[in-house]
Amino acid sequence: MFKPFANDTDAMNIAGDAINIVNGKTRVTISGDLTIARDQAGLAAAQALHDALGAIVDALKKDANLPKKLPEEPPAPAGTADNPFI
């Protein structure tokens, strides 16, 4: 079972590798393209996506210390660096 925000290592795929969901302690990344056909395979893919998104929403709702917005990752670089190619 996919546990959102539990670690930085878990990943799950939906419909082969059409949709990739990569876990993180502060962010969950969802990427890919999924075509949901009006058939049993489409239902299975839609249900898997629904379950994953539901787990993410539940984890966020249960977090009593949920911040308004996380800072950007990685933080913007400070200062400048010399270009070694010039």
pLDDT (0 to 100) of residue 86: 81
Query: Would 56 be classed as within a structural domain?
Result: yes
State the residue range of the domain holding 21: 11-62
pLDDT digits (tens, 9 = 90+) for 54-81: 999 999 999 999 999 998 777 777 788 8
Question: Is there a domain that residue 32 lies in?
Answer: yes
Q: Mean pLDDT lowest for which of 19-28, 41-50, 69-78?
A: 69-78
Total count of domains within the chain: 1
In a domain, 54, yes or no: yes
Q: Is residue 76 part of a domain?
A: no
| pLDDT digits 0-9 by tens, 2-14 | 899 999 999 999 9
Residue 20 lies in a domain: yes
3-class secondary structure, 81: coil
Token digits for 26? 């502060």
* Distance separating alpha carbons of residues 9 and 65, to the nearest angstrom: 23
Handedness of CA 43, 11, 3, 19 (dihedral sign): negative
